Structure formats: structure tokens, C-alpha cells
Amino acid sequence: MSATVSFVIPAFNERQYIQGCLEAIRREAAACGIQAEVIVVDNGSQDNTVELARSSGARVLSIARSSVSDARNFGAAQARHPIIAFIDADVEITGRWTSTFLQQWEAILQDDNTLTGHQYVVRDNPGWIERYWFGNLHDRFLAGGNIVISRSLFDKIGGFDATLRTGEDFDLCERAITAGANYYEEPGYEAIHLGFPRTLTRFIKREIWHGEGDYQTLRRFLASPVAILAIVYLALHLLILAALIMGSTSTLVQLLLALIVLNGALTWWRFRGCSPVALACNAALNYFYFVARALSLFAVWGSKLR
């Protein structure tokens, strides 16, 4: 009996990455003798993603433009195998990924309550943001673009929450753990994320979008330390602006010092152990990260007013 897995790949205007993603799956699965079903769920693309995916041998399903959770859930419902791998279109798996799956697939079949995967790795020639920020970043839960899960567990917990704009991967992991899943990170599931931002502008835009899910409900806001800290950053900036308007130099200096100390402490806590250069770069990025996450609140408000 050979190893089998269904890859589910949501895609929206992914012509830049989709062929590389699918070629990596085809190449590495064949090298290990894995029978891989590859499903691309076109999420309302307006470019030639569908044509490129089909020409690369994928089974393409199309839905009207919706959330990434909807796309993943739709693909999972059509998958034929008892183990599902969710891979994003701008991610390329490596030979280490398939070798690890080959070693673990029987155990996952026997324990059909399993959720595993690993954080993304950066490309071989990373930009400075990729190298210092994403290359040293360790999130609490798995990213949705590199997850391996048993169909049984996926169905039991109801899949991804389609009501969430972002944070659906965090939510899936949290619900799986609450349901008693066999949840673990496995570094062997090595996958390269090619869609990490390489400019500060793209970094800020990415984090504004990622933060929107934290402001959808009060419960999600209170459960997110990042969102709460982002509001603290916002409050400090408003107080600094007020001090400038009032001409209170001493208050202004104290507030600026508080912001610098807070940002420095958070950077050290998140990236402790990194080189001094990485810490210095990440201190700047950490500031823009929390500013962007505060702006997510206004993005959510704006979308509700439209």
C-alpha cells in the first residue's frame, strides 16, 4: 500500500507562483512514490491562474470570490484521500517535506485525530525583511499554508471558520487542540514561502490585512495579545500628537521614551537570541508591525461602512 495524500491549494490571482508550487508537489511526491491528488481551488481569479494550474496537471475547482477558508473547505470536501495537506499557492514544498510525510502517513492513518505541519522557511536568497523578520519568527500555531490534517479531525471540528477574514489557521489549531487532537509541529514539513513581502510597503499592507480578523468581534479582540498591544501603540501615538499640539515638551519626551522602551522590549522578547543586526532591523519592523495591526481596526470599520 502506497502513501496517499490530497493537496488542497486555494488560489486567487497566483500566476506568479502557482506553477512552481504545483511542480514542487509533482516532483517531490514522485521522488518518494507518494500518490498525490492535487486540487487547486480557484477563488475568483482574474488572471490566468486556472489555465496555468490545469496545464500543470492539477484538478481545478472554481468558486465565486470568497474567503480563503471557504476555498480550503470546498477543496477538502472534494478530496478523495483520508489525509489532507493544505498548501498555499505561493509555497513550495521540499524533498524533506515528502520524506517526512512518507515516514508519518501510516501513523496519521492509525491516529485519525492528527494535526501537524510546520512554520514556513524563507527562500535561499531572501530580502532583508525575509531574512531578519520571517526567518526568525516563530508563531504560536501553524500557518494555514502548510498544514497536514486527517480528514476525520478536519470534519469533526468543522473545517476552517469561513466567517473569519484572517486568523483562520490560528482558530483551526485552537479548536483542534480543544477537541483533543494529536497536535504537534514537525520541522520535517519544510515548505518555502515565496510570497513573504520584500519591501516595507508590502510588509505594512500584509500586516494590516492579517490583523483584520482580530477586530471582527470583541471576543477575538480580547483573545489577541497582538491586537491589544496594537491599541496601546495607537493610544501612545494619539497622546504624542496631543502633547505636540499642546506644546508640552516634557510630556512629549516621556511618551516617546515609553514608546521606544515598549517597542524595544517587545522586539527583544520576540527575537531574543538573534544577532544584534537582526534585533536592530526587527526593532524597526516591530514598530511598523504594531502600527499596521492598529490600522487593521480602521480597515475593518471602513469595510463595514461600505
Mind listing the domains of the chain with CATH numbers?
4-196 (3.90.550.10), 201-305 (no CATH)
- What is the pLDDT, as a whole number, of residue 88? 97
Inform me whether the pLDDT recorded for 305 exceeds 70: no
Please tell me the distance from the alpha carbon of residue 131 to that of residue 301, in angstroms, as a whole number: 33
Which whole number is the average pLDDT over 249-267?
97
The Cα-based distances of 44 to 68, 72, 77, 303 in angstroms read 11, 13, 18, 19
Side-chain half-sphere CA neighbours of 278 within 13 A = 15
Chain-centroid distance, C-alpha 121: 12
- What is the pLDDT, as a whole number, of residue 288? 98
Please tell me the distance from the alpha carbon of residue 23 to that of residue 28, in angstroms, as a whole number: 8
> Tens digits of per-residue pLDDT, 129-175?
999 999 999 888 899 999 999 999 999 999 999 998 888 999 999 99
> Tens digits of per-residue pLDDT, 53-85?
999 999 999 999 999 999 999 999 999 999 999
Inform me whether the pLDDT recorded for 303 exceeds 90: no
Let me know: does 171 contact 219? Beta carbons within 8 Å: no
pLDDT band at 306 (very low <50, low <70, confident <90, very high): low
Please tell me the distance from the alpha carbon of residue 14 to that of residue 65, in angstroms, as a whole number: 14
Please tell me the distance from the alpha carbon of residue 136 to that of residue 39, in angstroms, as a whole number: 31
> Tens digits of per-residue pLDDT, 180-202?
999 999 999 999 999 999 999 99
Residue matched to cell numbers 492509525: 110
Inform me whether the pLDDT recorded for 28 exceeds 80: yes
Please tell me the distance from the alpha carbon of residue 13 to that of residue 270, in angstroms, as a whole number: 33
Residue matched to cell numbers 488542497: 8
Dihedral sign from CA coordinates of 157, 159, 160, 161: negative
In three-state form (DSSP H/G/I as H, E/B as E, the rest C), the secondary structure along 22-53 is HHHHHHHHHHHCCEEEEEEEEECCCCCHHHHH
pLDDT band at 301 (very low <50, low <70, confident <90, very high): confident
Q: Strand locations in 156-240, DSSP E?
A: 182-185, 191-193
Which whole number is the average pLDDT over 248-265?
97
